[in-house]
Amino acid sequence: MDKLMSVIQEANSSQRNAGNTQLDSTPSTSSTSLVHHHHGVVGGGRDLLEDEERQPFYVGMRGVDRKYSICKEVRERSENDKFLRNFNPAITDKPQIRVDDYFVDSIREIAVGIPAYMRMWILNVEDLRKKLTWEDFDLHFLSGVSRPKFTLRQVNDDLFVIEVVAHLQGACAFAVKCCGITLKDSPFHIHAVNPVWSPTNSFAIAPSQTFCGDVVRVDITCKDQFGYLFPGASETLDISLSGPAVIDKMKVKDNKDGSHVLFFKATKIGRYKIEISAFNDNLRGSPYEILVLPTKPDPNQTKMEGEGCKKAVAGCVHEFVMEPRDKYGNSRLVLTSGEKWCAELIEKNSGEKVKINMKPIRSGKKVLFRCDYRAFKSGKYEMTLSVTEEDGVVLSAVMPNSIVVLPGITSGHKSILNVTTTNGYWTLSNDKKKVWLLKAGSNLDLNVQSCDKFGNYKYKDISQLVCEAEYVGDDAEKASNAPNLEIKVKNNRDGTFSGSLRGTKAGKYLCHVKLGGEEVDYSPFYFTLMPAFLHVPSCCALDMMKNVIKGGITGLVGEDNMVMVQGRDMYGNDVDIGGHDFCAILQFKPNAQTAGKVSTKPISFMSKDNKDGTYSIKYKTNVSGDYSMSIVSFAKHIMHSPIPLCMKGQRDIASVIIDKESNIRAVAGQRAMLRIIALDTFDNRQLSGGMTMYPEITLRSKTNRIIIKDPLREKERRKPLKTEVVDNNDGSYDIFYSSEFIGEYNVVIKYSDENKKNKESAPQQVKVKNGSFLRVQIVAAEVDRASCTITDHDFTAEAGIKHHFTIVTADKFQNRLDHGGVQIEAQAWKEYLPEGSDDVLLNFDVQDNDDGSYHIQYTGYISGTYVSEISINGVKVDALSQKLTILPGLTDPSACIFEGKGIERAKCGEHATFSIVTKDKFGNIPDHVNEKFQVFLQPHSHGKQVKGHDSNSTTRVRAKSVYSESGEYKITYLPRKACLHQLFVFYNPIKKRPGWSLVRQSYVTDEWSSSLIFKCTVDICAGKASAKNTSAKGNGLGGTLAGRPGVVTVNVRDMFGHPQLPEEDQELKAELIDKDGCSVGTTTVSQREGSANEFIVIYRYEGEGDHKLHITLDKEHIVRSPFPVTIQSNDIKVEELRVHNNDLIWDSDIALMWEQKHNVINVDAIPAGSAKAAAGYLQKAGRTQVVSLGESITLAQIESEQRYGHYITRKKAMSLHSRIANLNQFYSPSMRIRRPVSQQQEKERRSGAAGE
């Protein structure tokens, strides 16, 4: 290569020194050298033939090899517009050469503006007698569109190069001779084409792998089809980068020569693909893959997973997985040889350190560490992580998350027990253990701190704390009767437990405290409960046998009696010390059977202190009877106080009293009891029995009235009642009796003493205390449903009217109850109902008369038959259940429903209907046979009448009423007059019922004497528009001028002559027909402003002659249609166009707008289309304006759009604007607007003016 370059440089230098030899004989100011100063060959730049050893130089059909680029300076060539001449310098000693001695590397296709090279090798250079030079070659341009520039260079003795530069596209041919011999394959054909981008020649150079965070450089080279750099691909160059992460910052540098440099930085490991395309086609080798590897490790980015990295339990081995990462958070794929990882835990408070064992493992492609540790002290630990790199640099970091080491399993032996009390103390026993002494009822507080087996306090424990206590005293009776202690245990949810022991039975106890099934520290322990202070309400009274007195006690009159008091605390423990005083107070009971001879003043007795917790009380009284003994201390009663005390006294009976438990009022058929209590002479109750009683119960004569009309049973009723006497041996006697008959009975009692049987004496009659008579009353038993009856049997009622029937109650002995209180319920429902409808019930009101009878009241609102159900005390009685009938009432006018369009509006000539739904005031359908309706209409006296009709007419319109089942009447009437009518509906009942009154109106005539129930105003509007009654008028019916509008007013009416608008399906149409029957001209139909039924028909035609104007309504001709019209010639001079008034032109539309503007109601006052109307419309500020074309258009536009735009049809062929604008073709702006007149009228007008 160096030899070749030196040869080329020597040849170039020699040529520069010798001068440039021109191939063209024509002189030129800028000569073209055969040796061109090419960049890379002469200038010292990049050599065109470099790297020949690596890649052989080859010039083929498509130009220079693509792997070599040429700078822009190489493409700048001097133009050579002339053909190459034959250059054959005179050589005296020509070398002898053959055709086969040459090998020519010919070219077929070159790029425009880029040099191409054709090389020629001499095969047998050693056989030549003289070395060849460039002067031995001749180049002949033969033909072609493109005329390239040729330059011949000699590289060495056996290599010559022809440089070809083309500036135009196209083909050319040239021949090469050496020493007069045409070379092989000559002539050579070359085709010059424009360079285009080639995807196969374009490429990019990118690294195969890189590290995270490093800037990646990708060199992109765009070439054409000949292998040259192609700058034109920059605008269409598209680069897309895809991979594990999105690259936000990507920079592309354009070198402006067809080469680019791509810079980007990836922070996520993985394979990235770079797809580079231009002109929608990928470069050669695209897409390119780049593997991004992780960078150096960073402890701060380390990721940990597993329960062991969050929390742990003391004493247990915990594991977690640690994933090492680089500073971008990428997982490490491999560990270097010098990379070492260390981790340890440090407790924040105590500073205790725990080493973490780390073992590398692999999970897929990632490198992980399996870490395990074991901590014995609970607390919060921080993790310190460090890594040593290959170069000895140590990186350390404190992990942001802390590891909480929780205490282990609860250990009862390590848990701590603390015992406290506020009402006691402790002492040491013989075995040097604490024994707690406290009063009964005091609390012994327990506090337990749970710990694990390593002594760590637990801050949350779900273990169960168990506290048990047993009685261990010497007293076996106390041990067997010892109640359970009140033990409370609470988990404080913070690792501590609290509990309390509370005992009320005095004695010694052993307490066990267990946590998790194990005894805690300081458990078990003893505690002793001592009696509390004396509590008076807990003290009890003892009899002589030292038994607790719970009921009553007895005593003897005149003798000393004693009772003892045992002192106790409030929990029932016997107090063994004295120091209190008790007082016994004797008082006759409030219900004691005494007359008042004995004093009722309380008697008190003091106690004696026995110094052992007991107190003795002695008492004595000389009066027998029932007492109450109250034992008190400091105004408080002892237990069971006051105590009933019975003092036994005399035996003789002086009188009797009736006990409260006696049945003075008995029930028929039931056994009743009468208890009497015997009293002595001091009115003291006898405390023992032994008397024989002879009672006699007979019917009282005043109540001997016949209740049951049965003579046989009346005889039984008068007999004395059978009795039975029972001695209770406590001074009371029970007398049992029964009867089936009600009434008031007298009771007589006699007695005899069994202890005095040896004395024959007759029974003595007993007096009742205070000398009153003893009577009992027998009343009826419970109600018997089968004996109850109904007094009245009228079960038919009218809707809305209250009705009732009476039920009389009796017992099973047919005795009528003399009281109320029996639960009687009544309900009824309609017997027949439509399927799917709800039940219809009757509302009953049961009235208790408190004499055994009940009024059942009900009011029905819905007519029909009802099935009733009567129940007594919740049980249905079939004999009392009857069928009830509710009849419908008369029609209620206020309940009638009037519906239908016939009560609101109607049309003339069309039948109008409405319906009357009749009901009584409760919604029942009444009997239509007994009623009728009369309906008629008459014109409203104040209603607006139609123009042209009699407003004083009182013609009535009678309606037809037809009954159509279900209480509905269909009313039909046919109106003939369009105005407001009054509708009257009269109701005339044939049969009047009580409670219903007729309402009469003062304005109703004698002809209709029934009641007016409905009145309304009906709007009778005009009927359907009819062509038979529709007429037309106007000047347009006679004709018009050619090209001028003809105006006709159409008055639309119905069949009765009422003004009416056509309906939607009715079309009002106008058409101008010529003699041949063809439709000509244009016609417009629009509704007239301010009129309800008038329409304006405007027609226009340019032709002349007789025509017919057809005006149809719903395809029928109106009155007198078709109308003959004559269209006259419009060729009239300006001087003849005058008006009989004010010299104004006649235009019906302008006049119509004037009428609308001034709200002219009476259209007859100012004729439509008159000159006066037009003058009034154009009048302004008291004078007539001279209207020009522009002013006319402006005026019409303002008026039509602001005031009358919605009345003017703009879609017609000839609008109002056009007609006003047409005025300009007859008048100039300086002339007055005039109306066309005949010549005779014009002459008369001028002569009159001259005479004046």
Characterize the bridge pairing of strands 1046-1054 and 1039-1041: unpaired
* Complete domains list, the chain, with CATH: 2-194 (2.60.40.10), 199-293 (2.60.40.10), 299-406 (2.60.40.10), 410-530 (2.60.40.10), 544-648 (2.60.40.10), 658-779 (2.60.40.10), 794-834+844-885 (2.60.40.10), 893-994+1007-1017 (2.60.40.10), 1022-1131 (2.60.40.10), 1133-1252 (no CATH)
Helix (H) or strand (E) holding 1073, with range, is: strand 1068-1073
CB atoms within 10 A of CB 372: 13
pLDDT at 95: 46
Residue 848 tokens, joined: 């208790």
In terms of C-beta density within 10 A (0-12 exposed, 13-18 middle, 19 or more buried), how is residue 611 classed? Answer: exposed
Per mean pLDDT, which range of 50-64, 677-691, 716-730 is the poorest?
Answer: 50-64
pLDDT of residue 41 exceeding 70: no
Sign for the pseudo-dihedral over CA of 93, 96, 102, 108: positive
b/e burial code for range 709-736 (CB count within 10 A of at least 16 → b): eeeeeeeebeeebebebebeeebbbbbb
Q: What is the pLDDT of residues 969-988, one digit of tens each?
A: 899 998 888 888 888 888 87
Radius of gyration of the chain, Cα coordinates, nearest whole angstrom: 70
pLDDT of residue 583 exceeding 70: yes
pLDDT of residue 1192 exceeding 60: no
C-alpha distances in Å from residue 319, one per residue of 305, 310, 313, 356, 370: 9, 10, 12, 9, 7
pLDDT of residue 522 exceeding 80: yes
CB atoms within 10 A of CB 748: 14
Q: How far apart are CA 899 and CA 148, in angstroms?
A: 108
If you average pLDDT over every residue of the chain, what do you get?
Answer: 74
**Between residues 1152 and 731, the one the model is more confident about:** 731
Instruction: Show Cβ contacts of residue 1198 under 8 Å, excluding neighbours closer than 6 positions.
Output: none
pLDDT at 736: 92
Residue 245 tokens, joined: 């992460």
Helix (H) or strand (E) holding 1240, with range, is: helix 1239-1251
pTM: 0.36
Q: Are 647 and 558 in contact (CB under 8 A)?
A: no
Cross-strand partners of 159: 121, 156
C-alpha distances in Å from residue 945, one per residue of 457, 653, 979: 108, 116, 6
Angle CA 1077–1078–1079, to nearest 5: 125
pLDDT band at 1194; cut points 50, 70, 90: very low
Q: Are 41 and 117 in contact (CB under 8 A)?
A: no
Q: How far apart are CA 1123 and CA 1119, in angstroms?
A: 10
C-alpha distances in Å from residue 1, one per residue of 49, 65, 74, 1051, 1093: 8, 18, 21, 117, 114
Q: How far apart are CA 1084 and CA 1047, in angstroms?
A: 10
pLDDT band at 893; cut points 50, 70, 90: confident
pLDDT band at 752; cut points 50, 70, 90: confident
Helix axis angle for 1171-1178 and 1148-1157, nearest 10°, is 60
Which of 986, 989, 1023, 1018 lies closest to 904 in space, CA to CA? Answer: 1018
Q: Which of 77-86, 115-124, 672-681, 1045-1054 has the highest mean pLDDT?
A: 1045-1054
Q: How far apart are CA 474 and CA 484, in angstroms?
A: 18
**Between residues 492 and 1189, the one the model is more confident about:** 492
Characterize the bridge pairing of strands 149-156 and 159-165: antiparallel
pLDDT of residue 569 exceeding 60: yes
Q: How far apart are CA 471 and CA 1021, in angstroms?
A: 112
**Between residues 1247 and 563, the one the model is more confident about:** 563
pLDDT of residue 217 exceeding 90: yes
Q: How far apart are CA 362 and CA 360, in angstroms?
A: 7
In order, the DSSP letters of 394-409 are: EEEEE-SS-EEEE--S
Which of 204, 198, 252 lies closest to 223 in space, CA to CA? Answer: 198
Average pLDDT over residues 250-267: 89
Per mean pLDDT, which range of 220-229, 429-438, 1161-1170 is the poorest?
Answer: 1161-1170
Residue 810 tokens, joined: 């009796």
pLDDT above 70 covers a percentage of the chain that reads 73
pLDDT band at 73; cut points 50, 70, 90: very low
Average pLDDT over residues 947-962: 64
DSSP conformational letter for 829: E
Q: How far apart are CA 565 and CA 616, in angstroms?
A: 6
Find the farthest-apart pair of alpha carbons in the chain and give their distance in angstroms, rounded. 212
C-alpha distances in Å from residue 183, one per residue of 86, 93, 96, 176, 523: 15, 20, 14, 6, 127
Q: Are 1233 and 1187 in contact (CB under 8 A)?
A: yes
Q: What is the pLDDT of residues 1085-1143, one digit of tens each?
A: 988 888 878 999 999 998 888 999 999 998 899 999 899 999 888 754 433 333 333 33
C-alpha distances in Å from residue 975, one per residue of 533, 615, 1023: 112, 119, 10
Helix (H) or strand (E) holding 1154, with range, is: helix 1148-1157
C-alpha distances in Å from residue 371, one per residue of 334, 815, 869, 1088: 18, 102, 88, 103
CB atoms within 10 A of CB 449: 19
Q: Are 788 and 808 in contact (CB under 8 A)?
A: yes
Our separate counts of H helices and E strands in the chain read: 8, 87
Average pLDDT over residues 33-46: 30
Q: What is the pLDDT of residues 399-411, one digit of tens each?
A: 888 888 888 888 8
pLDDT above 90 covers a percentage of the chain that reads 8
SS3 (DSSP) at 1183: strand
Q: What is the pLDDT of residues 342-386, one digit of tens each?
A: 999 898 888 889 999 999 998 888 889 999 999 988 888 998 988
Which of 914, 917, 913 lies closest to 892 in space, CA to CA? Answer: 917
Virtual torsion, Cα 912, 917, 918, 923, nearest 10 deg: -170
Helix (H) or strand (E) holding 1052, with range, is: strand 1046-1054
Residue 1122 tokens, joined: 């078709």
SS3 (DSSP) at 763: coil
Q: How far apart are CA 13 and CA 884, in angstroms?
A: 147
Q: How far apart are CA 778 and CA 745, in angstroms?
A: 8
Q: Are 426 and 436 in contact (CB under 8 A)?
A: yes
Q: How far apart are CA 1225 and CA 1217, in angstroms?
A: 14
Q: Are 941 and 955 in contact (CB under 8 A)?
A: no
Q: Which amino acid is at 182?
A: T
Q: How far apart are CA 639 and CA 618, in angstroms?
A: 19
b/e burial code for range 83-119 (CB count within 10 A of at least 16 → b): ebeebeeeeeeebebeeebbebebbebbbbbbbbbbb
pLDDT of residue 220 exceeding 60: yes
Cross-strand partners of 985: 935, 1014
Q: How far apart are CA 623 and CA 586, in angstroms?
A: 12
pLDDT of residue 1082 exceeding 80: yes
Give the per-residue SS3 of 1002-1013: CCCCCCCCCEEE
pLDDT at 471: 83
